[in-house]
Amino acid sequence: MHVSFNLAADLDAALAAAAVAAGLPDAAAFLPEVRTADPRHGDFQANGVLGFAKARKLNPRATAEQLVAALPPALRESFDLVIAGPGFINFTLKPAALLAWVRAFDSVARLRTGAAAAHAGQTWVVDYSSPNTAKQMHVGHLRSAVIGEAICRLLEFTGARVIRDNHLGDWGTQFGKLIYGYKRWVDRDALARDAIEELERLYKLGNNATPDGSPELEEARRELVKLQNGDAENVALWRTFSEVSLAAFQQIYDRLGIRFDYHLGESFYNDKVDRVYRELEETKLAEISEGALVVFHPEHPRFKTQPFLVRKADGASNYASTDLATALYRTEHFNAHGIVVVTDFRQADHFEQLFLTVKKWFAARGYRVPELHHVTFGAVTGEDGKALKTRSGDVIRLKALLDEAVDRAYAIVSEKNAELPEAERRAIAQIVGVGAVQYADLSQNRSSNYVFSWDKMLALDGNTAPYLLYAIARIHSIFRRAGVTPGDPATESAATAPETPAEIALARKLTKFPDAIRLAVETLRPHYLGLYLFELAGDYSSFNNADKVLVDDATVRARRLLLCARTLLQLETGLQLLGLRTLTRM
Ligand code: ARG
């Protein structure tokens, strides 16, 4: 019997080897393309035979037969094999193989070992959330935080060493106006109460008091220059702005289970941009245009004429300069193999130009070029399709948003389970409410705009956090009633191969977990894992309706409890990978 974690990958490798063993012409070029199949046709399907055979004027069915005959016996024994249509090979796991798989992958550690991917052992820097200091984090930063954290966990699970870096927007001309406002109008009580709100107020006052061409604007500029030149008072103020902002952000991160390893904001790269200018000029990638330093990309349809501005005409650095320095620092200092930056799609051009520039620059200098990924996402809109704002048109306070989620979840939990003590219902509501917000974001393709709907995200059916958390709670309750713990070895050793259609369907689904992880990691799209979990919960629910678990027959009971335990393991592991907390009662 052949047991391995990622059966699709294994079949792929085995078929490629079989092509060589069978002596097919041009065998090295054969790509089997094994994919998860439509369950009606089997578990996996090799799609690559047809094209390969046709291109070489071979008979596809005969080629498929040769390949199947050359597969190792242990593998052939595990599957029912059918050559379908003009040369597809369908593989269906036999019940004994299903049992072996379900038995083998019995812990988070086993799943994790199995899932190790090509980037195992590499260092990946993930730059996410990254709000601007002295300002409220907005819904976009929430999306970035939620998606970024899921990506961190997925990369870690598949073997990477992940560095979580919060690239704060903590530098720029706005600080001159803020200091100007602060020195005149700060309200210390307000600052102690809600620092960011007070800083936003002071910035607005500073901004209104310094119209273009006014002496007040000159004064604000002088404050900025003093800050840039290291004036003790202004630097201390600026430090306070960063500290109080970060403390406020951390309250949100705590609720989302996020801990950054570094907060290397734009200011950190201040003294690192000169090297960037020098190297870009030395390698002839950058040129001076109207006083500014710019990079063109002649091979690109737009960026051959639309420059990447890396130093402003007045000599000041900008978002591009600091991001170039950031890429270099991450490569040299962290020895990053991969860099992932998570922001909304509006920054797509910036990152495309940035990455093009980095690749050319590093190559010219002989630095290793890391894998660079800009992970984008769509806008958050209200149900009216417009950008999500409060009724008065302000940005939504994330704290208020999470609080509302928890309040709404509390009402649902209380309705469902009124007999639970209040404190427990409150604790459950925290997990369900925050989880609902996270999962609403993660359950759909991040590229689409996302419509924020309380009713949808809190619904107990559909692809939602409450639905999945409830499925988990129900499985726990079965184990409580059975009086055994999930994964109990004595129970599981009595389990036999799945027999009923619902048992078989559920066991087959469980073997698809690796493929969902692989897809989510390869595309940096967590919704593939969400979709899998939703389907798994659906197969579990059909199984639960069709086959009673706690029957008297000890063998049948053990067999079904084994499936319950593995469904639970995968649902819990999967949701935790997406950044959610799970519960045992709901
Ligand atoms: N601070 C930026 C914003 O609020 C996001 C920064 C993303 N990271 C980066 N390296 N540019 O839009």
Does 534 fall in a domain? yes
**Domain that residue 367 falls in:** 161-169+265-377
Compute, in angstroms, the gap from residue 129 CA to the centroid of ligand 1: 8
Report, as an integer, the average pLDDT of 432-454. 95
Q: How confident is the model at residue 86 (pLDDT cuts 50, 70, 90)?
A: confident
Report, as an integer, the average pLDDT of 38-59. 95
Model confidence at 2: pLDDT above 80: no
Nearest CA to ligand 1 atom 4: 131
Strands (E), 256-325: 286-289, 292-295, 308-311
- Going from the C-alpha of 171 to that of each of 162, 220, 316, the distances in angstroms are 26, 15, 12
165 and 181 share one domain: no
Q: How confident is the model at residue 496 (pLDDT cuts 50, 70, 90)?
A: very high
474 and 343 share one domain: no
CATH number at residue 87: 3.30.1360.70
Model confidence at 349: pLDDT above 80: yes
Rounded to 10 degrees, the C-alpha dihedral 489/490/492/496 comes to: 150
Compute, in angstroms, the gap from residue 115 CA to the centroid of ligand 1: 31
Domain boundary among 347, 377, 407: 377
Give the per-residue pLDDT at 218.
96
Domain boundary among 93, 115, 144: 93
Rounded to 10 degrees, the C-alpha dihedral 331/334/338/341 comes to: -90
524 and 417 share one domain: yes
444 and 515 share one domain: yes
Relative to beta strand 34-36, strand 44-46 is antiparallel
- Candidates 39, 54, 43; CA nearest to 89 is 43
Sign of the torsion formed by the C-alpha atoms of 422, 427, 428 and 433: positive
Helix (H) or strand (E) holding 356: helix 348-365
Q: Using the 8-state DSSP alphabet, how is residue 170 labeled?
A: -
Atom of ligand 1 nearest to the CA of 326: 10
Place of tokens 């009580």: 189
Q: Which of 347, 353, 355 to mutate to test the pocket of ligand 1 (most atoms within 8 A of CB)?
A: 347
Does 335 fall in a domain? yes
Model confidence at 211: pLDDT above 80: yes
Model confidence at 1: pLDDT above 90: no
Burial group, residue 452, by CB count within 10 angstroms (0-12, 13-18, 19+): middle
249 and 359 share one domain: no
- Structure confidence by residue, pLDDT tens digits, 146-203: 999 999 999 999 999 999 999 999 998 899 999 999 999 999 999 999 999 999 999 9
Give the per-residue pLDDT at 488.
95
Does 126 fall in a domain? no
Query: Which protein residues touch ligand 1 with a CB less than 6 Å away?
Result: 127, 130-132, 167, 169, 323, 326, 341, 343
Give the per-residue pLDDT at 151.
98
Strands of the sheet containing 34-36, edge to edge, are 34-36, 44-46, 88-93, 79-84
Compute, in angstroms, the gap from residue 136 CA to the centroid of ligand 1: 14
Quote the number of domains for the chain. 4
Integer Cα distance of 302 and 314 in angstroms = 25
Give the per-residue pLDDT at 392.
75
Average pLDDT, the chain: 96
Nearest CA to ligand 1 atom 9: 167
Q: Which of 165, 330, 343 to mutate to test the pocket of ligand 1 (most atoms within 8 A of CB)?
A: 343
Domain boundary among 49, 71, 93: 93
186 and 272 share one domain: no
Model confidence at 395: pLDDT above 90: no
462 and 556 share one domain: yes
Q: How confident is the model at residue 394 (pLDDT cuts 50, 70, 90)?
A: confident
Helix (H) or strand (E) holding 93: strand 88-93
Report, as an integer, the average pLDDT of 245-274. 97
Does 100 fall in a domain? no
